[in-house]
Amino acid sequence: MGRRSRGRRLQQQQRPEDAEDGAEGGGKRGEAGWEGGYPEIVKENKLFEHYYQELKIVPEGEWGQFMDALREPLPATLRITGYKSHAKEILHCLKNKYFKELEDLEVDGQKVEVPQPLSWYPEELAWHTNLSRKILRKSPQLEKFHQFLVSETESGNISRQEAVSMIPPLLLNVRPHHKILDMCAAPGSKTTQLIEMLHADMNVPFPEGFVIANDVDNKRCYLLVHQAKRLSSPCIMVVNHDASSIPRLQIDVDGRKEILFYDRILCDVPCSGDGTMRKNIDVWKKWTTLNSLQLHGLQLRIATRGAEQLAEGGRMVYSTCSLNPIEDEAVIASLLEKSEGALELADVSDELPGLKWMPGITQWKVMTKDGQWFTDWDTVPHSRHTQIRPTMFPPKDPEKLQAMHLERCLRILPHHQNTGGFFVAVLVKKSSMPWNKRQPKLQGKSAETRESTQLSPAGPAEGKPADLSKLESPSFTGTGDTEIAHAAEDLENNGNKKDGVCGPPPSKKMKLFGFKEDPFVFIPEDDPLFPPIEKFYALAPSFPRMNLLTRTTEGKKRQLYMVSKELRNVLLNNSEKMKVINTGIKVWCRNNSGEEFDCAFRLAQEGIYTLYPFINSRIITVSMEDVKILLTQENPFFRKLSSETYSQAKDLAKGSIVLKYEPDSANPDALQCPIVLCGWRGKASIRTFVPKNERLHYLRMMGLEVSGEKKKEGVILTHESAASTGQPENEVPEGQRAGEPNSPDAEEANSPDVTAGCDPAGVHPPR
């Protein structure tokens, strides 16, 4: 088996975080042991204890606490997504409603601790609790809280993520204009954090930056797509490559083809996962040093590939959920040594106040799976050279070792703040890698420039990278030149490619694994499909129509998607070398009977927050009471809505509309975040097209608790509506407004052919 095949297999297998973040034990194991009467896994491993006691990674006198913490279940943690405009409303709802209901509550004789915020996570947006997933699922007293967590997770407002997993994105220090690569991204909890940071300003529909999220496992890529889709961002692309050989991409800059270098890279590599013992209890019986010895080479190759693609002045975070220095400090030391000063460890000791961590170690030994120790490479017998490599040992030269500042690495120990074990190192690139001939420097942008560009809804103009010809170049030629030459060849070969069509790579150039993806086809400027849409919604001249795409080259275009112009640039220039699984958000869907209306496409809720700034027509401003009615009733007549809403709707032609709620600052009890919903104006009624979990989310934020899936004659029962007996939907009182149909059946004939009140969303990429 070749090195690359072996590396791909290791990346797919060694992913201990596969169990959902925060799960105890993973799989179907309960806290009491195996279901079905199998014996409980004994949380003992003498070799593990001997190894880490010898390496002294735990402070003296704390070993007992360290081992006790590892044997305890991991507390559940959740994170409120920070870029949604209503993050504060969710936090307010959690603190003042759900957490209050947990006070003085006992489950199975155990007092429930009220969740507490993580002291080091900004703005109280991350919380932990002693409630296990099993108790949350099984206890009737906690059913409402559990439903809340599940529903809000599905709608992308809460992420159930392990505490230590939140650290690497925070240390990347992302800004909205950064180009980001997440090298080993699945299952995607860290990727969603990165997307949130790009959208720090919700008034900017298209941030200048983007996230390219990669994973080697094709199936896990779809899990990644599902996670990213919850955040509805036009700035995320999911790709499927071996991280250790991820292709170097090109972009078009003022008519020139230039290599894409990333401002931020997250390198969360596959690892042995002994820091996850609290949730993956299999590690107790399976742990051996052989796992680390086998993974070290792959981890170093991935980190090296990341460093090659990092822009000068850029920041790369290397992280593992392993405590083993062979996977941690040894990889960093080897990378620093081969970089010859191009990389250096950043001092981030003051960037997350409140986080407790141990500094990286500078001396360690290597142990084989049978317990044999080696202190340096010279003592390793030749028969062991395939298993143990020189890069696994600390540098011999004391001055070189001191200059590396390995103490700047962070090792998080489980007993310090009741978390999993983790390792993080933050690297900054000072100059190009010695084997690369040239590369552009990080884009420098003043805060004033960024602020001025973000005011325009059309999206900021692309900054100009430094001119390659003006940079210093070493006199020797390295692998970078070879890659650039190959890229130039690819460009020439692409001359015959159909304009605007970005298909999967030909099988000759790259073997395809998993599903074959549909192509990404950008809408041509002269496509007759667009003018009716532009006219119907009165789109602003600044609307970036060139960023619209579909996933089909033949037949009717059923869905229209949108990407940022930066990702469009990446797609158009790299389709031959990159396997793209998914990108873009759905902004319009074709109505089955669209020809009856002035526009054949209705708005999609998934992309409404991106699209809304450009729409100047068919907008109805609604009150909070209107929103409640629209979200709890499938097809309410105009008479049920406020007179202000009716006066706006009565003169509109039938078809898709935007429903906008603006908060009233004079009324602090009302919902204090704006809401934008997609709807349909029928003959005499309005309905919303909003996914179920998003609908439930808005209702909760307005103080309505939805009771399950019960529906009564088109009405979704809430605690408020269930208590009152309203008039049946099919009864029309005298004096109804002119133009209303005599029965709801007449109204149904004027609505688009989709599931009532719901905007369907799939896990797999759009077709």
Active site residue ranges: 321
Q: Is 267 annotated as a binding residue?
A: no
Q: Is 678 annotated as a binding residue?
A: no
d(CA 55, CA 274) in angstroms, rounded, equals 15
> 366-367 and 373-374: which strand pairing?
antiparallel
Q: State the sign of the Cα–Cα–Cα–Cα dihedral 636, 642, 644, 647.
A: positive
Q: Which amino acid is at 516?
A: K
Residues written for the chain: 767
DSSP characters over 607-632? GHHHHGGGB-SSEEEE-HHHHHHHHH
Which of 618, 619, 627, 622 shows the shortest CA–CA distance to 597? 618
φ, ψ for residue 685, nearest 5 deg: -150, 165
User: What are residue 516's DSSP bridge partners?
Assistant: none
Residues 690/758, Cβ–Cβ less than 8 Å: yes
d(CA 630, CA 621) in angstroms, rounded, equals 13
d(CA 443, CA 263) in angstroms, rounded, equals 8
Q: Which runs of consecutive H residues, i.e. helices, occur in 465-528?
A: 479-493
> How many CB atoms are closer than 10 A to CB 178?
24
Peptide bond into 187 cis (omega under 30): yes
Contacts of 194 (CB under 8 A, 6+ apart): 169, 172, 174, 180, 182, 211, 264, 266
d(CA 665, CA 451) in angstroms, rounded, equals 25
d(CA 533, CA 611) in angstroms, rounded, equals 12
Q: Is 242 annotated as a binding residue?
A: yes
Per the listing, tokens 């993973």 go with 26
Q: Is 189 annotated as a binding residue?
A: yes
- Residue 525: exposed, middle, or buried by beta-carbon count in 10 A (0-12, 13-18, 19+)? exposed
Peptide bond into 465 cis (omega under 30): no
User: What are residue 110's DSSP bridge partners?
Assistant: 107
Q: Is 665 annotated as a binding residue?
A: no
> How many CB atoms are closer than 10 A to CB 728?
11
User: What are residue 25's DSSP bridge partners?
Assistant: none
CA distances to 384, 495, 580 from 79, in Å: 45, 47, 28
Encoded tokens for 309:
């693609």
Note every long-range contact of 59-66, with CB atoms under 8 Å and residues 24 or more positions apart, other chains counting. Answer: 59/358, 62/413, 62/415, 65/415, 66/413, 66/414, 66/415
Please tell me whether residue 568 adopts helix, strand or coil conformation: helix
- Residue 595: exposed, middle, or buried by beta-carbon count in 10 A (0-12, 13-18, 19+)? exposed
Plot region of 22 (φ>0 → left; ψ -120 to 50 → alpha; else → beta): left
Q: Is 184 annotated as a binding residue?
A: yes
Q: Is 186 annotated as a binding residue?
A: yes
Contacts of 630 (CB under 8 A, 6+ apart): 622, 636, 641, 659, 677, 679, 686, 687, 688
Q: Is 190 annotated as a binding residue?
A: yes
d(CA 284, CA 387) in angstroms, rounded, equals 23
φ, ψ for residue 576, nearest 5 deg: -80, -15
- Residue 189: exposed, middle, or buried by beta-carbon count in 10 A (0-12, 13-18, 19+)? buried
Q: Which amino acid is at 718?
A: T
d(CA 187, CA 232) in angstroms, rounded, equals 17
Reported in sequence order, the residue ranges of 497-584 that DSSP labels E, i.e. its strands, are 501-502, 520-522, 548-550, 559-562, 580-583
Please tell me whether residue 359 adopts helix, strand or coil conformation: strand
- Residues in binding site for S-adenosyl-L-methionine: 184-190, 215, 242, 268
- Residues in binding site: 184-190, 215, 242, 268
